[in-house]
Amino acid sequence: MSDQYLKRDRDFIWHPFTPLEGAIEPLLVTSGKGAKLITHDGREIIDAISSWWVNIHGHSHPAIAAAISHQASILEQVIFAGFTHEPALCLAEDLLKLLPNQDKVFFSDDGSTAVEVALKMAIQYWHNLGSQKTKIIAFKGAYHGDTFGAMSVGHRGAFTSPFAPYLFEVSFIDLPNADNWEEVLTQFKKEIFDNDVAAFIFEPLVQGAAGMRMYEPEYLDELIALAHARDIVCIADEIMTGFGRTGRMFASRFLKHQPDIFCLSKGLTGGTLPLSVTTCTEKIQTAYRTSDVYKTFFHGHSFTANPITCAAANASLKLILTEECKNQINKIETAHKDQVRQLAGHPNIATVRQRGTILAMELATDENTSYFNQSRNAIYSYFIDRNILLRPLGNVIYLIPPYVITDEELSLVYEVINEFLDLWPDL
């Protein structure tokens, strides 16, 4: 039976980030429960990366499933231009209560699109004010999505090279750390000295796709303060870091100086349905509050604020605000910190880093740390053969588990990681 499915998959489906030749065969998943995925042949695989960082409450959570079913029986879709509905109203109100300094919610479909909206919102903000500020500042190594604007403000490399002629110019600065902070500060001050800077975009505290690279809030705080002093719009891409991943509801909660625009997705619906939002301050809105129709924000999607996805998000928000969920986040964070202490000094680890529920280990290899490090397939296969889903970023092994993962499941993941590290690189 599995051979038939795999043939159909090979014949008809093009998977993301996957070569059409030479890729590892996909597994046929038939169901999911909690932190586990169940395959057609009964294997139970611990989803230690929350299925690309989205599934914060585990698979097939009954509360979210019930909310989806209930909403589908009432209203499944309505055009969001000229209409509104209660699921969207509730979600917008509740998000704004949780977000620092935000006043308006714009709905879209996924993380990359949320970034596109944010960039357009910031650039048109200046256009509406009669200023042609268009320069964007971003961090080297950034990943903000795969649409053209998001690619433009992300790392330039193999992922983007076919599209290089079509990407707009961006000023990239180094990710700050204790060793390079003075150079980064000088570089940033030089960039913002120009009067044509429209926005500064960043993944706060953790660069996900770059290998879970982490940096301290004090550095970002100072950069935001400097940007605001020059009236530059600051955009926080919290698509991965939002909804408890860093130990607080949003990574920006570690900051004193808050962004003007937030991008949210992934955990927004608990990982059940695609939905994103871009939020902004009252200041951003002032450039759009006019009777001049040509200053309207002309952006939208067919499924903007879909009622079913909003219902799923509302159910997910209720779950994450419970004491049970908060306690689970704290337990994962504590367990990760213990694991960091145990792994310190391991000869096969170059570095180990942790923030909140995110734990990352950079393997010592002969190759440079990179998404294309050849150790990736060996790492993936080792863990999937032992019924643990880890999708390494090259030679970086990371954990970002669903909050419902049990103590036993998390301990098992640590145990297999330790076994792997003791065997590496002689597998």
The 3-class secondary structure across 315-380, one letter per residue, is HHHHHHCCHHHHHHHHHHHHHHHHHHHHHCCCCCEEEEEEECCEEEEEECCCCCCCCCCCCHHHHH
Model confidence band, residue 78 (pLDDT cutoffs 50, 70, 90): very high
Model confidence band, residue 366 (pLDDT cutoffs 50, 70, 90): confident
Is the alpha carbon torsion for 289, 291, 294, 296 positive or negative?
Answer: positive
Is the alpha carbon torsion for 361, 367, 369, 371 positive or negative?
Answer: negative
The answer to whether the beta carbons of residues 376 and 23 sit under 8 Å apart is no
Q: What is the pLDDT of residue 1?
A: 53
The residue with tokens 């951003």 is 284
Model confidence band, residue 16 (pLDDT cutoffs 50, 70, 90): very high
The yes-or-no verdict on residue 171 having pLDDT over 80 is yes
The yes-or-no verdict on residue 295 having pLDDT over 90 is yes
The residues pairing with 280 across neighbouring beta strands, listed in sequence order, are 104, 261
Query: In terms of CATH, what superfamily is 2-60+324-423?
Result: Aspartate Aminotransferase, domain 1 (3.90.1150.10)
The answer to whether the beta carbons of residues 173 and 191 sit under 8 Å apart is yes
Distance (Å) of CA 155 to CA 91, 180, 202, 387: 32, 19, 12, 32
Annotation: CATH topology of 64-320:
Aspartate Aminotransferase; domain 2 (3.40.640)
Between 183 and 25, the more confident residue is 183
Residue among 312, 323, 401 at smallest CA distance from 56: 401
Counting Cβ atoms within 10 Å, is residue 149 exposed (0-12), middle (13-18) or buried (19+)?
buried
What mean pLDDT do residues 329-351 have?
96
Q: What is the pLDDT of residue 263?
A: 98
Q: What confidence tens digit (pLDDT) does each residue in 212-225 have?
A: 999 999 999 999 99
Model confidence band, residue 420 (pLDDT cutoffs 50, 70, 90): very high
The yes-or-no verdict on residue 340 having pLDDT over 60 is yes
What's the rounded Cα separation, in Å, for the pair 245 and 57? 12
Q: What confidence tens digit (pLDDT) does each residue in 233-243 have?
A: 999 999 999 99
What mean pLDDT do residues 69-97 have?
98
Question: What are the sequence ranges of the domains in the chain?
Answer: 2-60+324-423, 64-320
**Percentage above 70 pLDDT, the chain:** 100
Average pLDDT, the chain: 96
The answer to whether the beta carbons of residues 112 and 149 sit under 8 Å apart is no
What's the rounded Cα separation, in Å, for the pair 69 and 84? 20
